[in-house]
Amino acid sequence: MSTRTWGARGPRRRRTATAAAIATAAVLLTGCGGGDADKAAVPEGWGTLKTGSLSVGYPKSEGYAEQPAAERAKANAAVALKEEDGIRTGMVSVQLDFATGVRDAAGAAAAAGAGIGLGSTRKATDDVRLAGPEDAPEAREARRIDYDFTSDGQEDTPNRGTPMTGVLVAGVDSKGVPFVVRLNAVKDAVDAEDLDAFVGSITVK
């Protein structure tokens, strides 16, 4: 089964000044590697997916809803979906223990990056520091990959050829379990601030 995940398209609500401030604070504390917070800030109006290795925010106020465990693919530890007219126009996913022989963020990112798919274009790869336990700093080190691709139209996803953009964050938690968190979106449906807020909402355990 494809590991691609899908993001929202169509009109977006403007985030309030308060939510924008929260998102910016989250990025400054986590995604830019400059903070020691043990819990990330989740933007106003967002929900939270919780797993044994990490928690991550998703844009609940824009129509995303957590998928029941009985309905999601076995490879996913948590999923939030947005569906419109039977099409999955939004999806956030978390995969745990998804690769063998992975011991650090670089290895997790290499394994996760291999699943992006042919025809994808990497835009950037950056080291980030996530919120998490101060006594396990290595678990807070992760790698972010931003990329573009086109939809293949399979599994109730947007029409084949639809331009997409995505971001994934990969690392290893304090117990040595590799993780990857993904958000993909129809291109221009989410902006750089949304993607930064998504990365900044992650708390690793």
For residue 113, report the phi and psi dihedrals to the nearest 5 degrees.
-65, -30
Q: How confident is the model at residue 83 (pLDDT cuts 50, 70, 90)?
A: confident
Q: What is the pLDDT of residue 37?
A: 67
pLDDT at 47 over 70: yes
Mean pLDDT of the chain: 83
Write the pLDDT tens digit of every residue in 160-195: 998 888 999 999 999 999 999 999 888 877 788 989
Average pLDDT over residues 82-97: 88
| Residues 22-38: tens digit of each pLDDT | 444 444 344 443 344 68
Query: Scanning the structure block, which residue is given the tokens 């604070």?
Result: 25
DSSP per-residue string spanning 62-114: GT-EEPPTTTS-TT-SEEEEEEETTEEEEEEEEEES-SSS--SHHHHHHHHHT
Pairing assessment for the beta strands 203-204 and 178-186 based on DSSP bridges: unpaired
pTM: 0.81
Reported as a single tens digit per residue, the pLDDT across 133-160 is 999 999 999 999 999 998 888 888 889 9
**What average pLDDT does this structure show over 97-117?**
93
